[in-house]
Structure 1
Amino acid sequence: MPIYVFWGEDDFAMNSAIAQLRQAVLDPNWVQFNFERIIGDRPETTIEGLNQAMTPPFGMGGRLIWIEEAIVTQSCAESLLQELQRTLPKVPQTSTLLLTTHKKLDKRSKSVKLLQKYADIREFSFIPPWKTEEIIKKVRQFAQDKEVKLTPRGLELLAESVGNNTRQLYNELDKLRLYGEKTNQPLDEKVVARLVAVNTQNSLQLAAAIREGNESKALGLVADLIDRNEPALRIVATLVGQFRTWLTVKIMVESGEKDERAIASAAEIGNPKRIYFIRKEVQSLSSQQLIKTLPILLELEVSLKRGANPIATLQTKAIELCRACKSSSRRGR
């Protein structure tokens, strides 16, 4: 069925997929006749798009109708739902209907349930920075797509360098592909380190600085992240995810659990081998101190949602978190 729903906040990845779809569907000589981009934030424009999808293409190639920010991916009036029910099963094979939205689909709505029945639904969301296994998996897949051969350590270093930044990943892989044309050998970490622009200020590094009780480094990282327009609430989400992971692992270790697979399962970590490194990271911290960081992080999130100044609030709470971790570190020595 030539119906697609693309959703998520990763604009670069979504736009790349849309470009591939356009290339696959449209004849370049007939684009102006067979491609329509419609803002679907109103019922009447959505119905216009559905009607155009039912129209046969002119000339060569197929027809592509793109309904952007489609309201039907959330909910819709009964009249629009009836139009969807009438149209979706009958979209001709010569037409492709694409609906996109940045918002998460409302799976409770009747329109989304209908789309699930007839459409190919694809998610384009940023991987949380603390989910390193998923980021490595994504980097590996993109490297294969671009035919870039990397050693295991080269792959890991690339993932560490770009994080969940899809745009930077594409650009760095293009650079590595050009360099790799001169050799048949997989590119190792030395080559990656020379060629890839390392994103040295990220939220995971901020979490590590806080864990170490390094106030000056944490304050500098907060300032750098805000200067790079990193959303404050996204920074907080990363910190919360990282501290919860550390807390879960610490509680399991303190309870006497030695099975790394069991600890990884409890902490929702895909690769049990990472437990060895996480245990070392929290060795000097107590579970009680890690527990005390969570209310501070909650206060930080609430303050930001209420409109507090991002950099001042983040820096104030970063100091509180550093001091909590520093006091634990000192007692643990």
Structure 2
Amino acid sequence: MTYRSLLHAVLPCALALAALAGPSIGAAQEFPSKPMRILVGASPGGGTDILARVLAEKFSAGLKQAVVVENRPGASNTIAAGLTARDEPNGLTLLVATNTGQAIAPHLIKLSYDPLKNLQPVGLVAIMPNVLVVSSSSPYKSVQDVLAAMKAKPGELKFASSGVGSTQHVGAEAFNLATGAKSIHIPYKGSSQAHMDVISGQVDMMFDSTSSAMSQIVGGKLRALAVTSPKRSAALPDVPTLAEQGITGADVNTWYGLFATGGTPPAIIARLHDELTKSLETPEVQARIKALGGEIELMSVEQFAAMNQKEYDRYGQLLVDSGIKKE
């Protein structure tokens, strides 16, 4: 075979291989090798903060760059969301959000950004059932005890939440709506502060996420009466669901998702989604989420975006039905 004929035989194969390799190399080069930050719209120590720090550690190892967590609490998680929405769309600023900021607050607070357009879904991190808790020294030993007290003293029992429009707030109002009973909302700046008053008995109860309440339940300071999920939590197998106790329509849970700034290139979103998936598949992350009472459900970017839209619409209607208004 002559040199020319050999060249004609090899060149098409070389070009084909280059075409296959090209996008991969381009995608790798496109992801910026600079420090990254993950914003959290809640105080340190809560469920959102815990998950963000777990992901930061994994992302730092996977992307081989520094990843820091920044807590920007307030306004139902929307301060952190707004900072993410207005940042450069380069994948270097991420947000661990909950349905509080993504699906509830936008219906209650006038925002300077559109959560459906200016925040790009990356993937679902975890789903946590909310759990009705009272102090371990409370006289209420069951949901029926709580309901009896609410009906005997209408508007006197108080429930805590991590803020107006939080899943804790909406969950309790949905419970009021489903049972026809009435309790009074006492908002706090985070679950940690709310726990102190529930434990001391200054506030009667709380529909907290398992991610925030689990340590106090395990430590014996809070008593779990029911979970709001369709099935029992694997972390709290002895705690019945509300549905098991005859209460339907109050299935408000807390989900955590990872978002980037809207307009971030698809190649970067794909890389971030891959890192998230790899993180969630590790035994240590799975064990950590299970310990918080949560479950992992792997979703594609498109599936999570569809869920985000569906939850936005669902909670908008639930807020109308439960009478929660803009403040």
After TM superposition, the score normalised by the length of structure 1 is 0.25
After TM superposition, the score normalised by the length of structure 2 is 0.25
Higher RCO (Cα < 8 Å, 6 or more apart): 2
Decide which structure has greater helix share. Answer: 1
State the structure with more CA Rg. 1
Decide which structure has greater strand share. Answer: 2
